Structures are given as structure tokens and as C-alpha cells.
Amino acid sequence: MLELRHLRTLAALQETGSVSRAAKRIHLTQSALSHQIKALQDHYGLAIIRPRGQTVELTDAGRHLVALAGKVLEEIQATERNLAKMSERVSGSLRIALECHTCFDWLMPLMDAFRRNWADVELDLVPGFHSDPVKLLEEGGADVVIGSQSQQRRGIVHHPLFRFEILAVLAPDHPLRGKRLLRAADFADVTLITYPVPEDRIDLILNVLKPAGIHPHRRTAELTVAILQLVASRRGIAALPSWGIKNYVDHDYVIARRIGTHGLWSNLYASTLAETASRPYLRDFLATARNTCFATLDGVIPLEEKQTG
Amino acid sequence: MLELRHLRTLAALQETGSVSRAAKRIHLTQSALSHQIKALQDHYGLAIIRPRGQTVELTDAGRHLVALAGKVLEEIQATERNLAKMSERVSGSLRIALECHTCFDWLMPLMDAFRRNWADVELDLVPGFHSDPVKLLEEGGADVVIGSQSQQRRGIVHHPLFRFEILAVLAPDHPLRGKRLLRAADFADVTLITYPVPEDRIDLILNVLKPAGIHPHRRTAELTVAILQLVASRRGIAALPSWGIKNYVDHDYVIARRIGTHGLWSNLYASTLAETASRPYLRDFLATARNTCFATLDGVIPLEEKQTG
DNA sequence: ATAGATATATGAATGATATTCATGGATTTT
DNA sequence: AAAATCCATGAATATCATTCATATATCTAT
């Protein structure tokens, strides 16, 4: 018989387009989902997915169920929000600080949605980019810090958001365009265009270039579009999250290359004080943040709860 | 975490107004539901039900969840209907024959709903009341017979609908009004007002009066309202399903009394040929029939699948 | 072509957990 | 006061979802 777990599976399947990715997405094994789907298919006497090359695609019946899943899961989230509001007086603040410039892209629509759902919570974006997020939390300067580096400390909880790949961004006619992937040595003679943050906050430098003893010339820009503008104008190379540049790559404005054999990956966390972590509106914020990120951002991978750094 | 089984429980709880009745309704034990509800309450940190005398009532949070259950379960039924339509070419007929006059009351709205959902199925009501329903099915005169008596035969399936009580109906100033319940002897000198069917199709006569050797004078009427009119005019006593007379009793048009110490009960079945039983639209018809009956009819009790006669 | 990587399917074993059983306390009815 | 009815709950049971191990198929790369 149909249960919500089936609907959650179907929703994840739609979002990810593959059984194994969907399994990662909802923290189950590929086998579990495969069994679930088989059970549904046997129950209804209809195919829900159909092999499509190496992966699968939804059938007509599958799309019906996916549509149902969307509606139902949304309704459930809405009433669970209402219950959360009933369970305690929710007036509080959610001041968000960013460690990662690119996150603006997905944060803005998320904040809009949040404001609609939690009118009584004071929502704010802490201006500037801060060198010590943990300190910021402890001193009460912010309620959440969204960042890529999580230094463990008592009383601080790092909620995993997702794992993403950082790609090198080049002008379409850049001399290095022929390479399928870039290695540390390729950065020796280029200008690296980055956000205006210290070197130890830039993954490419910290994890790839510095260990190889390479110190390229740096140039900074505040906004992602400005960086891409400079890249396209052949002023240098940038390293940005894959989802942040997808649109520009798709339109051949720039090209993207993997960094190192397995790529340069980074994890994104939302960090809060332990006491903040239990607040219903914070939990809802995190849940919808993950949802919208997985739904809208490309090449984003779930992160285990226990995983660190 | 919330699952559909919780929502089904909540919906049943709303319909029945008590944990144990809800348990019967969905064929689980009272204990199971009690555990489910406790789990929900612990999960949300909110009371869902609150003791009210011997039974319980829904809290504010409970009503939120019940509302969710209503929406969600309805949406699921709708898409399951769609899937059923996809799984095979559904064009067929559903000709309904009635053994029980009173059933008109709840059958009409049900047929309207069915017509909307299964436009391609030829829906019809077989006129008249038939002495041998099994024969009617086997000869193809009807696809479903709704009746109270289920004679077992190969190739015929009796789908249980519900169990209900048959009450004696009296004029408010009838000499027997003082009795809390009527026994066979009380019927010795009264006129019994019934539908125009043979004696062996009237439960009161078959199971109560005949065994006691009592043969009251009979008078017949075609319609329920006509019977009640005669009763109210002190022309005699009738025996009708509790849910068929509820409105008239509530308005003091007539009064109702239990028959025998434990009451006179009857089971209602929908009988079909075995081959008809598997058709998706028939299954949907039965499901919504049960749903609407339990939701709208008063004092109606679920019937076990295996139970007979 | 062939090996390697990646994706899905599936039977058997495992593990989690929903349900039942047994029971006690509480309320209403006779 | 006793009987009947209802809900709550800890412990035992049973069910069934998930994992594990493994096989097959597809795509990629050398």
C-alpha cells in the first residue's frame, strides 16, 4: 500500500533523475529505492520507471505519482509549519551571515519564502563577510552562518547543506581551453580572480596551489558577475561553484574545467549555536534550504549528517 | 516521522469520534492507534487528542492534522483512480440491484460521485426488488447486488459493507413507548408495517417473531417516508435501519426502540461475480461506498472481510 | 576490443518498528 | 457496587523495510 516514503522517493527521483542519486538524496541505499519502486509497480500493475540508457526515466504513471508527491509533501510541510508555530511562541530572529559570496544566488528566493511563512521572525542578512563565523555566532552578531569551513567547537552545531564542485572558469578562447582538466601547475602564470577575501578562505589556493608551492597573481571583484566579466575579458581565471556558473557556461560566455583528477570539492554548512538549532523556524529554514538547493542547483550532492570539514 | 497510516488513523478518528471505534474502522487494535497517536504527539510536542469523559476529542493541533488527512487522502484516491484507468481499458457496466429499500438514501449521492469519476462506465440502477440476487448476477441482469443476506455460492463474492442495527419505530404516543426495548411478545397484537417483500426477507420476522411463534398483522408501503407516515399516524410499528430513521427520530416525528436485549443487527453486503470483483472501477465503487457510509450514516459498524452471513 | 566505472535489479539476511497482547486506571451505566 | 466501556502503556511478537551481496546492462576510456 502507498505510504509517504514512496512519495518522498518519487520526489527525489524526479529531482535527481536517477535511482542512486535519489537514494543519496534521501539517505537510503539504491537497493531500498529499487525495492520500493518495484513494490509500487507490482501494486498498481503499471511501470513507474523505464530504463533509459544507463539510468531511468519516469513513465506516464510515474509522472502522475510524482505530481501527487509534490502536492502532498508540500501540504504536509505547510501543516507541520503550523504545528511548529503552535508548539511554542515563535518570535525570534534569523540573522544570516554569509561566508560564501556565491550563496546569494540561491539565498534570496529562499529568504522570500521564509518571510512569507514566518512573518513573526525577524529575518535579516548580516552585511559584510566575516573572518571568524564562530565568534560571530557566540557574540550574537548572527544566528546562522553559511560557510564552507566548519571549525568544531563546543556549543556550535554545523548543519550540513550540500557538497559541490568548484570549477575553473576560463574565457572560451583561453590558451588552456584544450585541457580537459587543470592541475596546480597550470595556474603558475595566470591571474587568479577571486572575491576579496584572505587567501586561507579560498579553497583553490588553500588545498591545491599552496601545497604545490604556486602563488599566482590575484585580482579581486565583489560580485560573481564582475568576476565572470573579467574572466570573459581574458583578464584571468576564476574558481567558482559549478552551480554558480552554469548559466554562463550554458550560454558559452565562459568555459569550465575540472581542477585535479577528482575535482576540487567543497562542503557547505549552516552553523548555529546549539540552542538555536532546536528552534522550529530554524529547522524549517534548513529543510527548505536543502530542498530548494537540491531542486534548483546543478551537480549538488547530499552530505552526511556526521561528516565533518 | 509522519506516514500515511497516521493520516488514515486521524481521518478514522474524526469520523468515529473514539479511538476504539476508529480502530475497528481501519481494522487495527485500539492499542495500535493509541501508540500511533502517542508517537505523533511526542514527535510534534503537541497534544492531538484530549480526554473528554469516557472518550476523546481532537485538540486544535489534531484538527489541523485531520484537515491535512482529508486533503491528502482524497488526492491519493484521485490519482489512484487515474492509475487504475491507465492500467486497463475501462469501459464496462455497473448495474446496481437493491435488495434493501432503505439503501436508496445513501446510494444516490454515491452514484453521482461515481458517474463523475468513471464517465466511461455505464452506470444503472436495476428497477424492482429481486428475490434471488445470486441468480440475477449469474444471468447478467445486474453487476452488483446490495443486500443483507449473503448466500454462499461458487463464483460469487460478497463484499462486506457494514453492520447496522434495526430498530423498532413507534409513534411518540404509542402504548409501548414506556418500554426501553421491545421483545417478540410485544409484537403479538400490533400491525407490522414493512416494504412489500416476502416474509423471509424481513429480518424481524425471520430472526425474532417466527422463532417465537408470533405472526403479527402486516401492512406494506413502498417508500420509507410512507412507512414512517403510517407509523406516525399510529397505524402500526415498523422495523428499520437506525441510520434510515435518524432524522425523523431527532425531530420527534417518531421514536425508536431496541429489539431484544442486544438489538437486532444485520449485515449489508455488495455481491458480485468473482470476475467483476477485480475490476478497478468496482473496487473504487466499494471503497467510496464504505467511506461515505461510515462518514454519513449513524451507528454503522465495520464488518470483517471473512465474516459471513 | 577490453577493462573499468557506473547504473539498476534482485534474493537472502538483517534490523527496525508497527502491531498485538496483557493489563491497569478511569468513567459511565445499570 | 458491579459491570461495561474506553484509553494508556510496557513487553512480546510479527511484519516488513532496508541493507548486503551479487548479477546484469550500459557507457567511457585506453
Residue pair A84/A284 in contact by the 8 Å Cβ criterion? yes
* pLDDT value, residue A36: 98
B11 and B40 share a domain?
A: yes
Same domain, A43 and A102: no
Q: What confidence category does residue A127 fall into, taking pLDDT thresholds of 50, 70 and 90?
A: confident
Taking the C-alpha atoms of residue B129 and residue B275, their distance in angstroms, rounded to an integer, is 24
Q: Does B133 lie in the same domain as B51?
A: no
Any bridge partners for residue B52, and if so which?
B55
Which residue lies nearest C5, CA-to-C1' measured? A54
Domain with residue B101: its CATH number is 3.40.190.10
Whole-angstrom distance, CA of residue B15 vs CA of residue B18: 9
Q: CB-based contacts of A241: which residues, under 8 Å, 6+ apart?
A: A102, A164, A165, A166, A167, A266
Q: Which of residues 26-85 of B touch strand C (CB under 7 A)?
A: 27-29, 31-32, 35-36, 39, 51, 53-54
Domain identity same for B73 and B192: no
- A42/C8 CA-to-C1' distance in Å: 17
Distance CA A292, CA A28 (A): 20
Rounded to an integer, the average pLDDT of B87-108 is: 85
Distance CA A53 to C1' C2 in A: 20
Quote the pLDDT of residue B121: 93
Put residue A17 in one of left, alpha, beta given phi > 0 → left and psi -120 to 50 → alpha: left
Domain boundary residue among A86, A120, A145?
A: A86
Band (B102; pLDDT cuts 50, 70, 90): confident
Minimum-distance nucleotide, CA of B19 to C1': D7
Q: Which residues of B touch A (CB under 8 A)?
A: 2-5, 44-46, 60-61, 64-65, 67-68, 71-72, 75-76, 79-80, 82-84, 86-87
The overall average pLDDT reported for chain A is: 90
- The string of pLDDT tens digits covering residues B216-254 is 999 999 889 999 999 999 999 999 999 889 889 988 899
How many Cβ atoms from other residues are within 10 Å of residue B306's Cβ?
Answer: 6
* Closest CB to B75 among A1, A68, A87: A68
- B101 pLDDT band (50/70/90 cuts)? confident
CB contact under 8 A, B3 and A5: yes
Looking at residue B308, what is its pLDDT? 34
- Nearest nucleotide (C1') to alpha carbon of A18: C7
Alpha carbon distances (Å) from B258 to A179, A207, B177, B180: 91, 85, 11, 7
Determine the Cα–Cα distance for residues B251 and A9; give it in Å rounded to an integer: 52
pLDDT at A80: 96
Q: B80 and B28 in one domain?
A: yes
Asked whether residue A309 carries a pLDDT value surpassing 70, the answer given is no
The neighbour count for residue A3, using CB atoms within 10 Å, is: 14
User: Is the predicted pLDDT of residue B111 greater than 50, yes or no?
Assistant: yes
Q: Per the structure, how many domains does chain B have?
A: 2
Residue in this structure with the C-alpha cell 413507534, named with its chain if needed: B170
Q: Is B80 helix (H, G, I), strand (E, B) or coil?
A: helix
pLDDT of the residue at B309: 30
Alpha-carbon torsion angle B138, B142, B146, B147, nearest 10: -50
Shared-domain flag, residues B67 and B102: no
Given an 8 Å threshold on Cβ–Cβ distance, is A2 in contact with B4? Answer: yes
User: Could you list the residue range(s) of the whole structural domain that residue B22 is in?
Assistant: 4-85
Contact: A75, B68; criterion CB under 8 Å: yes
Assign A149 a pLDDT band (cuts: 50, 70, 90): low
Candidates A61, A75, A86; nearest CB to B86: A61
User: How far is B176 from B186, CA to CA, in rounded Å?
Assistant: 8
* Higher local confidence (pLDDT), A240 or B305: A240
Cell 423498532 appears where? B168
> Chain D: nucleotides under 7 Å from a protein CB?
5-11, 17-21, 25-27
Least confident of A174-188, A264-278, B124-138, B259-273: B124-138
- Interface touch A82/B76, C-beta < 8 Å: no
* Among A1, A76, A82, beta carbon nearest to B2: A76
Q: Is the pLDDT of residue A134 over 80?
A: yes
CA distance A125 to chain B (A): 29
pLDDT tens digits for B16-67?
999 999 999 999 999 999 999 999 999 999 999 999 989 999 999 999 999 9
Does B179 have pLDDT greater than 90? no
pLDDT value of residue B149 = 67
Give the CA angle between residues A295, A111, B46 to the nearest 5°.
90
What share of chain A in percent tops pLDDT 70? 97
The per-residue pLDDT for A179 is 85
pLDDT at residue B297 tops 90: no
SS3 of chain A: CCCHHHHHHHHHHHHHCCHHHHHHHCCCCHHHHHHHHHHHHHHHCCCCEEEECCEEEECHHHHHHHHHHHHHHHHHHHHHHHHHHHHCCCCCEEEEEECCHHHHHHHHHHHHHHHHHCCCCEEEEEEEECCCHHHHHHCCCCCEEEECCCCCCCCEEEEEEEEEEEEEEECCCCHHHHCCEECHHHHCCCEEEECCCCHHHCHHHHHHHCCCCCCCEEEECCCHHHHHHHHHCCCCEEEEEHHHHHHHHHCCCCEEEEECCCCEEEEEEEEEEHHHHCCHHHHHHHHHHHHHHHHHCCCCECCCCCCCC
A28 nearest nt, CA–C1': D18
In terms of domains, do B24 and B76 share one?
Answer: yes
pLDDT-derived band at B306 (thresholds 50, 70, 90) equals: very low
Among the three residues B34, B51, B85, which one is the final residue of a domain in this structure? B85
Residues A114 and A194 both lie in one domain: yes
Same-domain status, A71 and A117: no
Same structural domain, A207 and A150: yes
Q: Of A86, A108, A133, which marks where a domain is finished?
A: A86
- Mean pLDDT within A249-264: 89
| pLDDT average, residue stretch B293-303 | 83
Contact criterion met (CB below 8 Å) for A207 and A148: no
Chain B interface mutation, best of A86, A278, A284, highest count of B Cβ atoms under 10 Å: A86
Q: Which single residue is written with the C-alpha cell 529554514?
A: A285
Rounded Cα distance between A68 and A65, Å, is 5
**What share of chain B in percent tops pLDDT 70?**
97
Q: Is the pLDDT of residue B307 over 70?
A: no
| CA-CA-CA-CA torsion sign (B138, B141, B142, B143) | positive
Instruction: Output the pLDDT for position B150.
Output: 64
Cβ of B5 < 7 Å from strand C? yes
**Are B53 and B104 within one domain?**
no
Query: What are all long-range contacts of A261-266, with beta carbons under 8 Å and residues at least 24 apart?
Result: A261/A181, A263/A165, A263/A166, A263/A167, A264/A165, A264/A166, A264/A167, A264/A203, A264/A204, A264/A207, A264/A208, A264/A239, A265/A163, A265/A164, A265/A165, A265/A166, A266/A148, A266/A163, A266/A164, A266/A165, A266/A166, A266/A203, A266/A241
Question: Any idea what the CATH number is for the domain that residue B74 is in?
Answer: 1.10.10.10
Q: Which residue has the higher pLDDT, B101 or B190?
A: B190
Q: Is the pLDDT of residue A307 over 70?
A: no
Nearest to B4 among A4, A80, A86 (CB): A4
Report the chain A residue with the minimal C-alpha distance to residue B73: A72
Higher pLDDT, A149 or A228: A228
Of A101 and A145, more confident: A145
pLDDT at residue number A308: 35
Question: Which pLDDT value is given to residue A151?
Answer: 76
Angle between helices A30-44 and B60-87 in degrees, nearest 10: 70
In this structure, the answer to whether residues B26 and B123 fall within a common structural domain is no
> What pLDDT score does A150 carry?
64
Interface of A with B (CB under 8 A): 1-5, 44-46, 60-61, 64-65, 67-68, 71-72, 75-76, 79-80, 82-84, 86-87
The alpha-carbon gap from A217 to the nearest alpha carbon of chain B, in Å, equals: 53
Q: How far apart are CA A102 and CA A113, in angstroms?
A: 19
Within 8 A of B61 by CB-CB distance, chain A residues are: 83, 86
